[in-house]
Amino acid sequence: MSAKVTNSIKDAALVIQQGGVVICPSEGVYGISCSLFNEDAIKRVIKIKERDIAKGLIIVDSSLDTLKTYLDEKRVDDKSKALLKKYWPGPHTFVLPVVKTFNSTALRENHTVAIRITANEYLSALCTMAKTPMISTSANISGLSATSSLDNLDKRLYQRVDLILDLPCGGQKEPTSIYDTLNHTLVRKGPNWTDHD
């Protein structure tokens, strides 16, 4: 059955809350998302995308309020905290340590997660309305191109997700920055990241 296509953030939030998988806009391209707290949905996202499970996934939210419970803040130093304050919300992803008691398919091998507090109005509103941090990975089959236009979305994805949120992406032309807070390494430089950081 083909996914419902709608411009209703409320409808998309309800699908997320019910354990579903949606395609929604982000800063640059459309992404596949589900609740961070639904393991079955996360595994479904990986299967939909035909992705290597070892690659890890990015978590997005509208604020750090919910995720703070799971972060190992003792391992986040002042330099990293200053960068988070400077660059969030915005198109920047930070790799952060989490407490040992938190387990998720979204975790990386060294018990860290990649988090982005988004400034995209639609994605932020979806996280807020769904009341959950969300998994986000580009809406494409692994190895194929991502897209900022639903006209170019792989037709197979229409059969694999529950809902497609037909609202525009943020117009960003390059991938987001990725900064590893544990070893202070800029893994990937994205827009508006200044070199002296």
Strands 112-117 and 92-97: antiparallel
Q: Give the span between the Cα atoms of 176 and 153, in whole angstroms.
A: 20
Residue 30 dihedral angles phi and psi, to the nearest 5°: -70, 145
Report residue 105 as tokens. Answer: 């398919």
Strands 134-138 and 31-35: antiparallel
- Alpha-carbon torsion (186, 189, 195, 197), positive or negative: negative
127-157 pLDDT tens trace: 999 999 999 999 999 999 999 999 999 999 9
pLDDT-derived band at 53 (thresholds 50, 70, 90) equals confident
Q: What's the pTM value of the predicted model, to 2 decimals?
A: 0.94
pLDDT value of residue 194? 84
Each residue of 105-135: b (16+ CB within 10 Å) or e? bbbbeeebbbbbbbbbebbbbbbebbebbbb
- Listed range (22-31, 50-59, 108-117) with the worst mean pLDDT: 50-59
Q: Identify whether 89 is preceded by a cis peptide bond (ω within 30 of 0).
A: yes
Section 59-74 average pLDDT: 96
Section 110-131 average pLDDT: 96
Contact criterion met (CB below 8 Å) for 4 and 11: yes
**What residue ranges do the domains of the chain occupy?**
4-188
CA 94 to chain centre: 11
Contact criterion met (CB below 8 Å) for 142 and 54: no
Contact criterion met (CB below 8 Å) for 33 and 131: no
4-188 CATH: 3.90.870.10
DSSP 184: T
169-180 pLDDT tens trace: 999 988 889 999
